[in-house]
Amino acid sequence: MAAAAAPLAAAPATKGSLREDLTCPICCDLFREPVMLGCMHHFCKPCISRYWRTTHGPVTCPQCRKEFTCKQFQTNYLVAAMVEKVRASTSHTYIQNLEKQLRETLENHCLRREDLSNSIRKEKDKMETIKRLGADLQARVRGEFGALRQILHDEETRMLEQLRREQEEELEKVQHHLEAIKLAMREVEENMRVLEEASATTENIVLTELPQLRQCPQVDSAPELDTNAFSSKYLAPLQYITWRKMFKSLKPGPSPLTFDVDTAHPSIRVSRDKTVAVEYDSVTWHTDNNKRFLQCVNILASQGFYSGRHYWEVEVGTKPKWDMGVASEAVDRHSRIKLSPERGYWTLRLRNRNEYSAGTQPWTRLQLSSSPRRLGVFVDCEERWVSFYNADDMSLIYSYTNGPRGKVFPFFSPCISGSSQEPQPIRLLHYPPVAMSG
């Protein structure tokens, strides 16, 4: 009984683990059926019962030595529950389960990491593409401007060379005249010398006849120097003249298209010079041919393209509806079909005055800041691009990047105008520089 009387070391006041807090000071294991004495110290119910078993009369707390008159304690359910939790959390299956969760979470993180690393690679690839494309485009822009500068440079060289030649010719003319005058001068001076000599000798001898004189060459009167004629060509509005000439060298410059009357739907009338097309209520019957559109109010240009880059401009004015673009040579012209790249049409369309769309299926609605009166169409046969521009300010309206393969023709539809409106034409624009060529 004396052995049980030895006081137990007090639990360290420092912050221990929960497991330490729930350890019985007698058996040094997790509490089994924890009970609390009047002094608030806890022990396992079997441990404290065993500790007090041999004692009769008052008993003491093994930890703080407080005396109690009888063997009395209270079951502490809260501590019991906590002990159960700690015990469960250190069990073999619990740990196995925890390890499994750990492995799975790690695996998930590995997968996630791989995903993220793929994303990083993709974004880096994108950046590389942007840089490569940017460099290509820079080279292209430099090339285009270089070509323009070359045209200007060549024109400047040509004009300076012409000026040099004309200056030379003018100088040569004057030089020629000058030589003739100098020759006449020498002859006159020679005659003067002979005459002076003769005059000197007359003091000694009687002069019987005039000395022999040279024939003086006749010098034509010099033409007046016409500085105006010489400079007029170079005092002209040089920049504008050069700019007009540059037009002819632009690649591509605006193509001077004409309508192909043989393709015109019977209700389309074309002007004599084939640059204006209007839709009328009445139909004109032509001899039939395979090229003609019979169902839809369409017409093509005579000029087809199958290689290179081409640009043309069309005036639509304030027409409330129209379609235009390019059509494959092979399009079906005898049936009514929906315009789309799949059917061989790459078009821009206007409806109700201000509803612009790209002619995809379904249509792609476009928001334009202004209503163009003139449109530019650009086709790059090699890159398979078809682009539409507002030719009033050259802003890009829409681009097809899945353009045509094979031969295409500029395509137009004046559409059927409402009966209340005067039909408005579609006009193919020809620029003066083009008319100047040849």
Closest CB to Zn ion among residues 61, 301: 61
Q: How far is the CB of 76 from Zn ion (least distance, A)?
A: 13
Segment lying near Zn ion (by CB under 5 A), choices 23-31, 78-86, 103-111, 332-340:
23-31
| Angle 400-401-404 from CA coordinates, rounded to 5° | 80
Least Cβ distance, residue 88 to Zn ion (angstroms):
19
C-alpha span between 44 and 42 (Å, rounded): 7
Q: Is residue 22 within 8 Å of 36, Cβ to Cβ?
A: no
Query: Is residue 374 classed as helix, strand or coil in its secondary structure?
Result: strand
**Least distance from Zn ion to the Cβ atom of residue 56, Å:** 20
Question: Shortest Cβ distance from residue 66 to Zn ion (Å)?
Answer: 5
- The Cα–Cα gap between 317 and 375 comes to 10
Nearer to Zn ion, 47 or 297 (CB): 47
Six token digits for residue 319: 């027409």
Contact between 24 and Zn ion per CB under 5 A? yes
- CA-only gyration radius of the chain, Å: 54
**Contact range with Zn ion by CB under 5 A, out of 17-25, 143-151, 173-181, 313-321:** 17-25
Nearer to Zn ion, 41 or 269 (CB): 41
Instruction: Name the minimum Å distance from CB 86 to Zn ion.
Output: 15
Site string for Zn ion, 37-76 (x = CB under 5 A): --x-x--x--x-------------x-xx-x----------
Nearer to Zn ion, 64 or 219 (CB): 64
Looking at beta carbons only, is 10 or 171 nearer to Zn ion? 10
Sign of CA dihedral 60, 63, 65, 66: negative
- Angle at CA of residue 206, ends 201 and 212, nearest 5°: 65
The residue among 32 and 430 lying less far from Zn ion, judged by its C-beta, is: 32
**Least Å from the CB of residue 84 to Zn ion:** 15
Give the nearest distance from C-beta 42 to Zn ion in angstroms.
9
Pick one of 27, 36, 276, 337: the residue that binds Zn ion (CB under 5 A).
27
**395 backbone dihedrals φ, ψ, rounded to 5°:** -85, 145
Among 11, 26, 261, 368, binds Zn ion (CB under 5 A): 26
Nearer to Zn ion, 24 or 429 (CB): 24
CA distance 437 to 252: 15
Residue in 316, 412, 399, 328 with CA at minimum distance from that of residue 358: 399
Burial class (CB in 10 A: 0-12, 13-18, 19+), 218: exposed
Q: How far apart are CA 62 and CA 27, in angstroms?
A: 12
Residue ranges in contact with Zn ion by CB under 5 A: 24, 26-27, 39, 41, 44, 47, 61, 63-64, 66
